[in-house]
Amino acid sequence: MPDPQRLAALRDEIAIVGVGESDYSQDYALARRGERYSDAYGYAATAFRRALDDCGLTRDDIDGLIAGPATASERLGEVLGMDVRWADQADAVQAVLKAAIAIHAGVAECVALVYGNDQRTAGTAYGGRDAMGGERHLAYTYYAPWGLTSQGALYALLANRYQAVTGLTERELGQVAVAQRAFARLNPNAVMRGPLHIDDYLSAPYICEPLRLYDYCLVNDGGVALIVTTAERAARLGRPAVLLSGIGRADHNRDATSLRPRLVDFYRPAQRTAAEQVYTMAGAGPSDVDVLQIYDSFSVHVPLALEGFGFCPQGGAGELLADGALGPGGRLPVNTAGGHLSGSYMQGWGHQAECVRQLRGEAGERQIPHARTAQYVSDVAGKVTSLIYRRADA
Amino acid sequence: MTPPQRPAPQPGIYDTPYWRYTAAGELRLQRCGGCERFRYPPGPVCPDCLAQESSWERLSGAGTLLAWTVFHRQYFPAIEVPYLVGAVRTPEGPILIGNLIDTSAAELSHDMPLRAVFETLPTGRPADADTHTDSPGEGWRLCQWTPLETRPLHKERA
Ligand SMILES: [Zn+2]
């Protein structure tokens, strides 16, 4: 079992001191015109340079490197000209966890977490015969003879059952896309910034019913980098730091291909376990969270996370959504940069950057006033993870 | 020009018996020799008790509709939209995926009773088909699901 005392010792010991992101909006326009601007390593390099500038550290200070899933840490080390003492590869949330563990264990002091992806211009397949991820998640490719493919279809099946069990309506689910678009309109770097009304949502075509066009994430190119170090070193930098206060993780891989965790459990048991861990470690609860970032490859992640992490009772997400609680000015701001649906699909990496920007008070027009505690929640294919961040002076 | 074919079943040592049985019109899954639970997809050990012994046992062909989706986007040239995919809970335990046939989305309701039927469809051959002497060759039969009440023509019961 995870040791609560050891976890408590890790609380507020690790800090994110630098963030960098590529120019999503501009690069998307270039990609739409058929102009290939960069590749995964190029976007990663842009983000890394910006993250270094942001924190005031130099490349020589970096002794650890974690590469995102679309790049190899060895090649990334070569491209960025870094010979580090420790390196690894990870998805967004695992990257933060691994960096914290590595720093805590003493194998590195300043770790760069670098993500780059050219999924749009490279034509990465998220459905069809060669859908990516099939080797990890058999359900992505296993049912192709029946035409069941794409992660969207698996979430459509989930949404179909979930609506029946909880009574969530299409109009309520549509408020996820509407709220996130409203935030995206306040973010100059968001890819989708046109107005989106609930009627636009409801008149958009289904892709896999009951999910419509606006329930699906974007596919765009870009990069994100985070510089992670000790809270002690962060304090010496003399710049606003964001501390990692809580970590929660629980998997739900049993029966994953049969879709039981999605269609019968709605990932709830793993979410409850991860929620208990993250809140206990951080000494906080849902009511302390000022800004919530939820991994949203599809809109339906959002009601699942709201219920699974105790932001509302089970079956209560529809009411929160209908009240407009998630959008600008709402009482529970979610995915304040626009999320994957309207902001940028950086597979959870952008959500970490947004936590940091909000807690530093640097989120411009979309800034949530007095944000002191931010939480990230993801339930990607049964890997439920959550992080709680706090402002260093909070 | 040959018409586009459905994607081939997943090849592999664990899955081959499943497809051999469906080709013969039988729905069979691995049943654990230790705890007697059915498992799906096929695999090397029982996820419940880790026993390696198993036998391929026949299912009743009954099921209830857990969830469904209507595909409106075409992902495979051989499968025209719209089409229905359902997740079916079997009384034996496993949840199975299939197309819902001889019905329409308007006729569906959660937990409605279904029965398995076998549909012969042209699909691609799995990569290792030639290594199995009893390979069914050209057409593969897919285990599909249809509402219990309807009695479609040209289909046989599981
Ligand atoms: Zn067993």
* Assigned CATH topology for domain A14-123+220-237: Peroxisomal Thiolase; Chain A, domain 1 (3.40.47)
Backbone angles phi, psi at A277, to 5 degrees: -65, -45
B29 touches B40 (CB < 8 A): yes
**Considering CB atoms only, which of A138, A148, A254 is closest to B47?**
A254
User: What per-residue confidence (pLDDT) applies to B151?
Assistant: 53
Q: How many CA atoms lie within 13 A of A48 on its CB side?
A: 25
Report the separation in Å between the CA atom of A258 and the middle of ligand 1, taken as the mean of its atom positions.
Answer: 17
Cβ neighbours of A158 in B, within 8 Å:
67
> Does this model's pTM top 0.90?
yes
Per-window interface: B 115-144 vs A, CB < 8 A: 123, 140, 142, 144
Q: Please give the Cα distance from B141 to B25 (Å, whole number).
A: 7
Note the Cα A370 to chain centre separation in Å. 22
DSSP type of residue A222: E
State the smallest CA–CA distance between residue A139 and chain B in angstroms: 10
- Complex prediction ipTM: 0.93
- Which pLDDT value is given to residue A156? 98
Shortest CA distance to A302 belongs to which of A168, A148, A167? A168
Helix (H) or strand (E) holding A302: helix A301-308
Cβ-based contacts under 8 A for chains A and B: 101
- Determine the distance in angstroms separating the CA of B149 from the nearest CA of chain A, rounded to an integer: 22
The closest CB to that of B85, out of A142, A153, A205, belongs to A153
pLDDT at residue A381, as a whole number? 82
List chain A pLDDT tens, one digit each, 394 residues. 899 999 999 999 999 999 999 999 999 999 888 887 789 999 999 999 999 999 999 999 999 999 999 999 999 999 999 999 999 999 998 999 999 999 999 999 999 999 999 988 887 777 776 676 776 778 888 999 999 999 999 999 999 999 999 999 999 999 999 999 999 999 999 999 999 999 999 999 999 999 999 999 999 999 999 999 999 999 999 888 899 999 999 999 999 999 999 999 999 999 999 999 999 999 999 999 999 999 999 999 999 999 999 999 999 999 999 999 999 999 999 999 999 999 999 999 999 999 999 999 999 999 999 999 999 999 988 899 999 999 988 5
Residue A243 tokens, joined: 């501390």
CA A34 to chain centre: 27
Please indicate whether, in this complex, the C-beta atoms of B7 and A129 are within 8 angstroms of each other: yes
Task: Identify the CA nearest to A276 among candidates A243, A320, A316, A308.
Answer: A308
**Quick one: tokens of A367?**
């800034």
C-alpha pair distances (Å), A59 with each of A14, A83, A110: 19, 10, 10
- Tally Cβ neighbours within 10 Å of residue A229: 28
Å between A330 CA and nearest CA of chain B = 32
Domain residue spans in chain A?
Answer: 14-123+220-237
pLDDT band per the 50, 70, 90 thresholds, residue B127: very low
To 5 degrees, how large is the angle CA A229–CA A233–CA A236? 140
The residue with greater pLDDT, A394 or B77, is B77
List residues, by chain if needed, whose CB lies under 5 Å from ion ligand 1.
B 32, 34-35, 46, 48-49, 51
pLDDT by residue (tens digit) across B7-30?
A: 888 778 899 999 999 999 999 999
- C-alpha span between A116 and A114 (Å, rounded): 7
Cα angle B111, B117, B122 (rounded to 5 degrees) comes to 125
